[in-house]
Amino acid sequence: MMDFKALLASSDNPNSLGNKFRIKRFQYFENLLQSNFEGKFPVKILDIGGMVHFWKDQDLLKSGKVEIIVLNLSAEEVQIKGLSSMAGDATDLSQFADGSFDLVFSNSVIEHLYTWENQQKMAKEAIRVGKKYFVQTPNRHFFMEAHYALPFVQYLPKNLTRFLLTKTKLSRGAKWNPKDAQQYLDEIRLLTYSEMKTLFPGAKMYKEKFFGMNKSFSAHNLG
């Protein structure tokens, strides 16, 4: 039986469906990492758009097999072995030389870059600075829009979506702050399977399934 409460909860909620998918996805990623880099640890990873809290309790980090730089719009305070944080721009990684990292990782970030042009820039930079990459994004055509937890809202005019977010409690049981709603409406551009294949030519595509539907895609060149 479908658990709608779990479906609608934010993925930051440990009991949410989104978090369960995230855990399963990371296990898949970790298995790929182990098989691709066995005997070559520590693996230098750049996490584009990541957060310190995502990594700090991961056994992979605690094992000493990875050294991770988390890059986001602003740096975070961190005092954890093998983990550092810096400010940067996902579309311009010119501070890094070609092949600076063993792997570039990114989780649900590339859809937040406003335009197709910016998404192309991020993909190009990820491929350039990383010898390998693993980039995940929600599927535009999955029935439940991942950020608002509203069905099919990605196909509606933005002014109607703004109304639903700010004037009703349909999105996760609460009204959105108008400023936050507008920010999301401006920045989110969901990607399709074919667009991800275009951004990452030759990539393998890990598809997360929910009742036979593709919930998200992860483009990678591991394995």
Mean pLDDT, residues 177-190: 98
Please state, in angstroms and rounded to a whole number, the distance separating the CA atoms of residues 92 and 107: 18
Mean pLDDT, residues 45-64: 94
Please state, in angstroms and rounded to a whole number, the distance separating the CA atoms of residues 40 and 35: 10
Q: What is the DSSP string of 135-185?
A: EEEEBTTSSEETTTTEETGGGS-HHHHHHHHHH-STTTTSPPPHHHHHHHH
At residue 53 the predicted structure's pLDDT band, cuts being 50, 70 and 90, is very high
Nearest Cα to Cα of residue 195 among 171, 175, 219, 214: 219
Q: What is the DSSP string of 98-111?
A: TT-EEEEEEES-GG
Position 178 scores a pLDDT of 98
Average per-residue pLDDT for the chain: 92
Cβ burial 67-95 (10 Å sphere, 16+ → b, else e): bbbbbbeeeeeeeeebbbbeebbbbebee
At residue 10 the predicted structure's pLDDT band, cuts being 50, 70 and 90, is low
pLDDT at 5 over 70: no
Query: Can you say whether the dihedral through the CA atoms of 179, 135, 18, 55 is positive or negative?
Result: negative
Mean pLDDT, residues 13-34: 81
- Please say whether the beta carbons of 17 and 9 come within 8 A: yes
At residue 1 the predicted structure's pLDDT band, cuts being 50, 70 and 90, is very low
pLDDT at 52 over 90: yes
Please state, in angstroms and rounded to a whole number, the distance separating the CA atoms of residues 59 and 197: 31
pLDDT at 133 over 80: yes
pLDDT at 2 over 60: no
Position 22 scores a pLDDT of 79
Position 23 scores a pLDDT of 87
Lowest mean pLDDT among 3-17, 62-76, 110-124: 3-17
Position 21 scores a pLDDT of 76
pLDDT at 29 over 70: yes
Nearest Cα to Cα of residue 71 among 43, 95, 97, 42: 95
Mean pLDDT, residues 107-114: 97
**pLDDT tens across 146-172, in order?**
999 999 999 999 999 999 999 999 998
Position 6 scores a pLDDT of 55
Q: Is 37 helix (H, G, I), strand (E, B) or coil?
A: helix
| pTM as predicted | 0.91
Q: What separation in angstroms does the CA of 117 have from each of 105, 158, 173?
A: 20, 20, 34
Q: Is 45 helix (H, G, I), strand (E, B) or coil?
A: strand
